[in-house]
Amino acid sequence: MKPQTPRQQLIFDFLQQKKTPQGAYDILDACRDHGFRAPSQIYRVLNKLLEYGLVHKVESLNAYIACEQQHDIGQSIVAICNGCGLVKEMPIPDFTDQFKKFDGWDGFIPQQMAVEVKGRCSSCN
Amino acid sequence: MKPQTPRQQLIFDFLQQKKTPQGAYDILDACRDHGFRAPSQIYRVLNKLLEYGLVHKVESLNAYIACEQQHDIGQSIVAICNGCGLVKEMPIPDFTDQFKKFDGWDGFIPQQMAVEVKGRCSSCN
DNA sequence: TTGCGAATGTTATATTATAACATCATCCGC
DNA sequence: GCGGATGATGTTATAATATAACATTCGCAA
C-alpha cells in the first residue's frame, strides 16, 4: 500500500527524507508551509500511515520514522544509534519460547510488539 | 537495592500492590493523602526507582510497574495481556545475531532496550 | 553547630496526543 | 443533475504526560 492522499504523501516523503525519527510537532513545523496548522492534522495522517504499515512509531522516543519495508504494525525491531541517531528497522525474531518458561504465561499469544534497542552503531563506537 | 526513602517506599509499595501498569498521574492521585501534590514529586521518585532497577517504565503505555526481580535498566521483556492488563517481566533474549544480517549494523552494540509485547495470556484466550 | 548534599516542596511550563465538531470532496445510485 | 453516504480535511479546544527552575528541609558528618 502506498500513501493514499496528497497529505499522506507529503508527510511520508518528509519522513523518508529524514534519516532520524521525527516528533509529531517537528513534522508539523516542517509542513506549515504546505497548509498544516494543527497537531490533529498531523496525528490523523500519521495514524493512517501507521495503519498502512508505512510508518513506525518509536515508543521510547515518541517519534516516527518511514519504514523501509512495509510491515504489519508491531512486527519489527528498531535499532537506534545513540551516537548518530540513525535507525534501522529489521524483522522481529520469534520469542514465543521465552514465554514458555513462565507459569501462567506459557500460552501467551503475542499480537503487537514494540522492540526498541538503543546502542552504538559500528561507525559510532 | 531497596527503596531508600519513605517516599520511594510508598510509591514502590503502591506499584507492587497494583497488578497492572500505573500512569504517573494515577500514582499522584493515589498518593495525595500521603502528601504528594505535584507531578514533579512523582517523577522524581519514579526516576530514582527506575535508576535502582526497582521499577520499569512501559513505554508503549506511558506507565510504570514494580519489578519482581531487580534488573538493569533496559534489560527485560515485558509481556502485557490485552485482556486482563496483567504484566510479566522476563529476561531479555540475545538479539545480537539479528544485527549481523544488516550492512552497517553488524557491529551494533545494544545498550538499553524496550521490548514490549502485547497479546493474550492463557487465561484470556 | 554548621555546612554539605540529597531529598522534598512548589510553581510554572513544555511536550505529546486526542476530542469534538464543521466543512469539503468524491463517488455512487437514482 | 440531485441527494446522500463516506472519508479526508480544517479548526478550536483541551487532555495527558513530563520537565525546568528554584526554594526549603532533613540527615549526617566534620
Model confidence at B74, pLDDT cuts 50, 70, 90, reads low
Dump pLDDT digits (tens) for A47-71.
999 999 999 999 999 999 999 887 7
The whole-number pLDDT of residue A13 equals: 97
Q: Is the pLDDT at B97 greater than 90, yes or no? A: no
- B51-60 tens-digit pLDDT: 999 999 999 9
Place of cell 544509534: A81
> Quick one: pLDDT at residue A74?
64
Q: CA B36, CA B26: separation in Å to the nearest integer?
A: 12
Contact between chains at B121 and A98 (C-beta distance less than 8 A): no
Under DSSP, the state recorded for B90 is: E
Out of B77, B104, B114, the one facing A59 most closely (by C-beta) is B114
Chain A residues with CB under 8 Å of B81 CB are 108
Cell (9 digits) for B61 = 503505555
pLDDT mean over A31-38: 95
Alpha-carbon distance of A96 to A98, in angstroms, equals: 5
Q: Pairing relation of β-strands B109-120 and B76-81? A: parallel
- Residue A92 clears pLDDT 90, i.e. is over it: no
Summarize pLDDT for B77-87 with one digit per residue, the tens.
899 998 888 99
Do A11 and A46 contact (CB within 8 A), yes or no?
yes
With beta carbons under 8 A apart, name residues in chain A contacting B83: none
Give the global pTM: 0.92
| Closest CB to A119 among B77, B101, B110 | B110
pLDDT of the residue at B115: 92
Whose CA is closest to A109, among A84, A80, A83, A74? A74
- Residues whose CB is less than 8 angstroms from the CB of residue B32 and which lie 6 or more positions away in sequence, other chains included: none
Sheet of strand B87-91: strand arrangement? A87-91, A76-81, A109-120, B109-120, B76-81, B87-91
What is the enclosing helix (H) or strand (E) of B14? helix B6-17
Cell (9 digits) for A88: 534501522
DSSP letter assigned to residue A102 = S
In terms of DSSP bridges, do strands A55-58 and A63-66 run parallel, antiparallel, or are they unpaired? antiparallel
Question: Rounded CA gap, A56 and A89, in Å?
Answer: 9
Q: What is the mean pLDDT of residues A81-95?
A: 87
